[in-house]
Structure 1
Amino acid sequence: MSAFTDGLMADRTVFVAGGTSGINLGIAKRFGELAARVAVLGRNPEKAKAAADSIGAGALGLSADVRDYAATREAMEQVVAELGPLDVVVSGAAGNFLAPAAQMSANAFRTVIDIDLNGTFNVFRGCYDLLRRPGASLIAITAGQAVNAIPLQAHACAAKAGINQLVRVLAMEWGPEVRVNGISPGPISGTEGMARLAPDHDAREAYYARIPMRRWGEIEEVAEAAVFLCSSSATYVSGTILDVDGGSQLGDASRGTAAKGLA
């Protein structure tokens, strides 16, 4: 059950980059349910239109690659022209795959940096003079790789660490009129990433055992966190990375539990 009242985001314009699927689409839908004017951006025009249709009447679906600053900026200008100044901007476009660093090409590494880190900068820099002031709220979708070194994830770890620091710097430079925060989701059901990392029952059970809350999160739980960060309940929150991960960042909760009879 949500703590937020119907119509909470009425008269606000929300732009979600990478908002055509997964967590980002879930965030866009939640803002739409709360009466916001919503626009989503993705590389595929058909997916962008389908995502907008799933959000509801009046939602915009635009296509651009966040690696292309000019195209991203043009899309945001269109949103402002049709829906008004931007109140909330979410940057969530991402790319990832498993690969050992010694076998990863320079191009593969650069691709993830370009989508995740450079894409986040392009979205936030591109929207800067299109924001409603005061009160605009920016959210970057990051990940636990930003603070935890993970084998086969050199590219993602580097990109997400950069995003976290970008959030903090922009919060310092753009306050007090613009708040900038990040959300770091843990394992989330119904996402492409978890389908790849835990494709069968045994793999899923192994993940559950390591998470303090003993379950994966839901897309809706991440969306609720995004609404909170953009609500009047978080007006003194800026430069923060909010972990929505069931305690995953605390470490492996399965260690030692069997010996103590707690498993």
Structure 2
Amino acid sequence: MSQRNSLAAKTAARERLRAEREKQAKRDKLRRQLLVFGGVIATLAVLAGVAVAVVKMNQPSYWEAAKDKKLVKPAHSSGTNGTSILVGSASAKHTLKVYEDLRCPYCAQFEQTSGDTMAADVKAGTYNMSYTMGAFLDDSLGQGQGSKNALSALGAALNVSTDAFVAYHKVLYSKAVHPEETTDAFGSDTNLIKYAQKVPALKDNAAFQKAVKDGTYDKWALTMAAQFDSDGITGTPTVKLDGTAIENPQSMTADQFEAAIKAQLAK
């Protein structure tokens, strides 16, 4: 090989090597840039996630926000802000005042045992009944929204009619439907609408279902629960005949409850 050819070959080899090194340097630079860019994107994603979490933490809960909603009182409610539900004749000489929480198992026991007795007495005109419902178990149990949500649905039933309220109230406290205290089945609108199918006036009732889904009576439920608290009720069921408490009604048989009513009326 001539010296010229040898020198040309070496020069060409050096050029190819230089070009390859430049390409590799560009690839390395691009790789570093992509790594840095990826790190920036990841950091931004983390920061965005934190920001969203902070916003959510600072947002009021659904029921906290419901306090600011417009109060819509169900038709057939009575008392200040509609916080009393009167069943029976307004002219009855006596009133049985009943305080309950819809998640309360003792209320369910009381209604299952003495509910028909009370209904018969109301029909006979012995007394009328005034319900004020609470929602303290949602907070006491530290989970769920069933007390408030079911009370709102009861408001939707009351808006249909007092009879629809009575029938739906009975269904919600029935053995077939009433959940364990720690199970928040009443927190589901779907469940509440399903249970309402047992009530003829509410079955496939589009207006009732819309009110449940829209939370039309959520503010009313909270207002009712606040009235319950203001009345100083510390346990459920609390039952008062003309202002005098009937002790431990949930522990009585239907006959014992009726006897306690008669004894109170005889005083």
Larger Cα Rg: Structure 1 or Structure 2? 2
Higher relative helix content: 2
TM > 0.5 fold call: no
Higher relative strand content: 1
TM-score interval, normalised by the smaller of the two chains: under 0.3
**TM-score computed with the length of structure 2 as normaliser:** 0.23
